[in-house]
C-alpha cells in the first residue's frame, strides 16, 4: 500500500534498495490499485481473489496483518514454493 506522501517511484526504489522485486501491485488510498504491466497470470488471479474476498468484508471489520515471521513461514511453505515454481515455468 502506498503511504500518503509516497510515490510509486519511491516505493519501487525502496524495494530495489532492499534487494526485493518491485511489488506486482500497489494499493493507492482513495484511488484504487495499479498492477505492473509485466505481472503474470498468477498475479492477476491472486489480485482478483483478493478483491473478491475484500469486497465481502464488513466496512468495520478489524484487519490484522501477519507479523513478518508468519509471513515468511507462509512464503517458505512447501505448497507456496511449488506454486511459485509452477508460475515461473509458464
pLDDT tens per residue across all 90 residues of the chain: 888 888 888 888 888 888 888 788 998 888 888 998 988 888 899 899 989 998 999 999 998 888 989 988 887 888 877 877 877 766
Nearest 5°: phi and psi at 78? Answer: -55, -45
How many C-beta atoms surround the C-beta of residue 50 within 10 A?
13
| CA–CA dist 70, 50 (Å, integer) | 19
Dihedral (CA of 88, 34, 50, 22) sign = positive
Dist. CA 39–CA 22, nearest whole Å: 11
Amino acid at each position: 500500500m502506498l503511504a500518503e506522501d509516497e510515490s510509486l517511484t519511491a516505493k519501487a526504489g525502496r524495494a530495489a534498495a532492499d534487494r526485493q522485486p518491485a511489488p506486482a501491485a500497489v494499493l493507492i488510498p482513495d484511488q484504487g490499485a495499479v498492477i505492473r504491466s509485466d505481472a503474470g497470470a498468477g498475479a492477476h488471479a491472486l489480485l482478483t481473489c483478493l478483491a473478491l474476498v475484500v469486497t465481502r468484508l464488513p466496512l468495520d471489520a478489524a484487519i490484522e496483518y501477519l507479523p513478518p515471521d508468519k509471513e515468511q513461514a507462509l512464503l517458505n511453505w512447501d505448497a507456496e514454493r511449488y506454486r511459485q515454481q509452477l508460475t515461473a515455468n509458464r
